[in-house]
Amino acid sequence: MASGMIKAPARTYDHVAVLMGGWSAEREISLRSGTAVADALEGEGYRVTRVDVDRDVAASLSALKPDVCFNALHGQFGEDGCIQGILECLQLPYTHSGVLASALAMHKERAKAVMASVGKVPVAEAMIVTRGEATAAHVLAPPYVVKPVSEGSSVGVIIVGPGANRPPQQIADGGAHTDEVMVERYVAGRELTCAVIGGFVTEVIEIVPKEGLAFYDFAAKYAPGGSRHELPAKISRDIYDSVRKYTLAAHEALGCRGVSRADFRFDDPVMRPEGTGELICLEVNTQPGMTGTSLVPELAQHAGASFGELVRWIVEDASCNR
């Protein structure tokens, strides 16, 4: 990789199984990530098998006998410790974080508790309630955000604005995701993100959603033109340095391995007269997207690493007991 970044060791693996698809709400994005990764790994000279994961994945991998698995799954089963546990049982080296870190990071409320207490990372107050409780009455004073406890890609996220008389009915209608939701104090301001690749902390991106989008939602993340990325983010030096410091602290507090990405909100008083200057970490993603609009490949490229070099590093970092 580029100067300053961890360099990939000499190739130790040949046959890579790229795990993608699955059955979470993020299946489509996982297929995009997996296809991009598989194409790049073939370009790097690996023998690649693309595995659209189903519930017989253990039997499929036992028959396939790859040297290593690149985990390109997103959402439930893929980044919550489940597939990681299967791969540990099969003793197949795999990429990204292990069982415990994956399960912790995927559960937003528990991840907050660990990041705040162990890593001293600032987070917004939140509570876990049922959808029925969140629909019956405000459990926090508006504005606040309602999120599934264990989903990614902004799936099922609802913002309840200031002055709302009662919670919107759509909170109850989202029960297909999970009956438990996290209700979190809304923090206005700028959307920032930063990644860890091994021990290397990247620069910081500001994500500016397309006009008309309320926040960095599913469309802003994955639709071409859904958002604009400022890299490096045009924020004060102290906030910039704080984002990088907290990104590493969160990665280490949760026990992440390989690549992770942390997302932040900064209520910049320069941008909003009523801004408080507050910086909070929203969450840590242990399986960042690898699509054409994804942030980690962009951050790696800014540091001088091509997409092929990035995925090669991720593969060569793979192991069991993560």
Q: How far is CA 173 from CA 107, 158, 169, 182, 185, in A?
A: 21, 11, 7, 15, 21
Alpha carbon distance 175, 179 (integer Å): 5
Q: Is-contact 71 18, C-beta < 8 A?
A: no
Q: Which helix (H) or strand (E) is 148 found in, with range? A: strand 144-148
Active-site choice (78, 174, 255, 289): 289
What proportions of the chain, in percent to the nearest 5, are helix, strand and coil?
30, 25, 45
Q: Give residue 116's Cα distance to chain centre.
A: 18
Active site residue 152: no
Active-site choice (30, 33, 285, 294): 285
Q: How far is CA 25 from CA 176, 266, 314, in A?
A: 10, 28, 24
Active-site choice (26, 151, 217, 316): 26
Active site residue 261: yes
Active-site choice (94, 222, 240, 246): 222
Burial class for 234, CB neighbours closer than 10 Å (0-12, 13-18, 19+): exposed
Active site residue 60: no
Active-site choice (206, 263, 298, 309): 263
Active site residue 26: yes
Q: How far is CA 16 from CA 49, 74, 314, in A?
A: 6, 18, 12
Active-site choice (283, 298, 309, 317): 283
Active-site choice (261, 265, 312, 322): 261
Active site residue 153: yes
Active-site choice (71, 97, 153, 294): 153
Q: Is-contact 58 285, C-beta < 8 A?
A: no
Active site residue 263: yes
Query: Which amino acids are annotated catalytic?
Result: 26, 153, 222, 261, 263, 283, 285, 289
